[in-house]
């Protein structure tokens, strides 16, 4: 958010606007202590996605878990700050890694004594939801899982980082329970993230990681036998699953891929090869 972010003049109170502007700058710049310093001692933070209310003693952990993670997660404000007396209204979009899903969020922020006294936050899933119903119809699972929109974003980043750095998919027996234990989330939390937000099963996520690993190794392949060896080395334990995943991801069979890219000099983002 820029320091000259526009505001709505109707009911405008400069003091309210300045507090809320500093607050959202701190969120966007991921400054935990600056965020916490703006909360009133009697703060009540209503997260309607979780149907929970957080008070000052609980907010450090909540905010820390909710801050955007890495360059892949973007917090974009999509409207001016609107001020009516001591309450400001702001809307923003949280885009998860790769644009796979995003949340449209709105907050009503009430200022008292120069500090933030009340926050009411609402979030709706914009895409990645197969049913198209948004998160409103799915609040009960999220309440049980104890997740906010921002925390789902952090989970997506943590999962990607773990797969990139530790490469658990290279093990043929890679499973959801082991990944959950390694990343510090529950099986149900990861399952919700994958199925309801990212729109894919755990094994599809794993097999896509295996295929990306294999495609990066293809310059060393000069025959179908070599590709089969690379498939097993990448964690696939079934050639039929590998061939189906390869075709779904690239639009080609491995044999056709080798004919088109005889030196293995192909891109690793397979969708562009379809058609």
Q: Return the domain boundaries, the chain.
A: 7-146, 153-273
* pLDDT score for 19: 95
Domain 7-146, CATH 3.40.640.10 — does that match? no
Q: Which residue has the higher pLDDT, 119 or 219?
A: 119
Q: Is the pLDDT of residue 250 over 60?
A: yes
Mean pLDDT for the chain? 79
d(CA 89, CA 86): 10
Phi, psi of 3 (to 5 degrees): -70, -15
Alpha helices in 42-119 (DSSP H): 56-66
The answer to whether 134 touches 178, Cβ cutoff 8 Å, is: no
Give yes or no for a contact between 253 and 243, defined as CB atoms under 8 angstroms apart. yes
How many other β-carbons are positioned within 10 Å of the β-carbon of residue 184? 10
- 124-163 per-position pLDDT tens digit: 766 544 444 444 444 456 666 767 767 777 788 889 889 9
pLDDT number for residue 55: 96
Q: From CA 182, how far away is CA 150, in angstroms rounded?
A: 21
* Architecture of the domain delimited by 153-273: Orthogonal Bundle (1.10)
How far from each other are the two terminal CA atoms of the chain, in whole angstroms?
41
Share of the chain above pLDDT 90, in %: 39
pLDDT of res. 246: 92
Q: Give the pLDDT band (50/70/90) at residue 269.
A: very low
102 and 93 in contact (C-beta within 8 Å)? Answer: yes
Q: What is the per-residue pLDDT for 46? A: 92
Give the pLDDT confidence score for residue 86 in this predicted structure.
94
pLDDT higher than 60, residue 265: no
pTM for the predicted model, two decimal places: 0.59
Task: Say what the pLDDT of residue 266 is.
Answer: 47
Average pLDDT rounded to a whole number, residues 248-265: 77
Q: Specify the pLDDT at position 23.
A: 93
Place of tokens 């914009």: 126
Question: Strand 7-8 relative to strand 39-47: parallel, antiparallel, unpaired?
Answer: unpaired
- Count of CB atoms situated within 10 Å of the CB of 89: 17
CA-nearest of 263, 251, 173 to 210 is: 173
Question: Cβ atoms within 10 A of the Cβ of 244, count?
Answer: 12
**pLDDT, tens only, 118-131:** 999 987 766 544 44
Residue 272: band (very low, low, confident or very high) from pLDDT cuts 50, 70, 90: very low
């Amino acid at each position: 958010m820029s320091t000259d972010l526009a505001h709505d003049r109707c009911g405008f109170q400069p003091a309210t606007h300045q507090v809320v502007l500093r607050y959202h700058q701190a969120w966007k710049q991921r400054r935990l202590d600056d965020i916490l310093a703006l909360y009133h001692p009697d703060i009540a933070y209503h997260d309607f996605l979780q149907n929970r209310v957080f008070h000052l003693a609980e907010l450090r952990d909540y905010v820390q878990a909710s801050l955007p993670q890495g360059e892949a997660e973007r917090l974009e404000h999509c409207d001016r700050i609107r001020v009516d007396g001591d309450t400001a209204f702001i809307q923003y979009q949280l885009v998860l890694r790769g644009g796979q899903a995003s949340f449209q969020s709105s907050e009503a922020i009430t200022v008292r004594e120069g500090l933030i006294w009340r926050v009411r936050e609402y979030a709706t899933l914009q895409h990645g939801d197969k049913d198209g119903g948004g998160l409103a119809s799915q609040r009960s699972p999220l309440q049980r899982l104890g997740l906010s929109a921002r925390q789902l974003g952090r989970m997506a980043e943590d999962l990607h980082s773990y797969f990139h750095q530790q490469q658990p998919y290279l093990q043929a027996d890679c499973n959801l329970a082991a990944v959950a234990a390694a990343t510090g989330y529950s099986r149900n939390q990861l399952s919700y993230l994958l199925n309801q937000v990212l729109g894919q099963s755990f094994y599809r996520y794993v097999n896509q990681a295996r295929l990306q690993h294999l495609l990066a190794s293809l310059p060393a392949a000069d025959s179908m036998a070599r590709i089969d060896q690379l498939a097993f080395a990448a964690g696939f334990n079934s050639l039929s699953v590998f061939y189906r995943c390869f075709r779904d991801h690239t639009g080609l069979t491995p044999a056709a891929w080798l004919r088109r890219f005889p030196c293995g000099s192909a891109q690793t983002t397979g969708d562009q090869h379809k058609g």
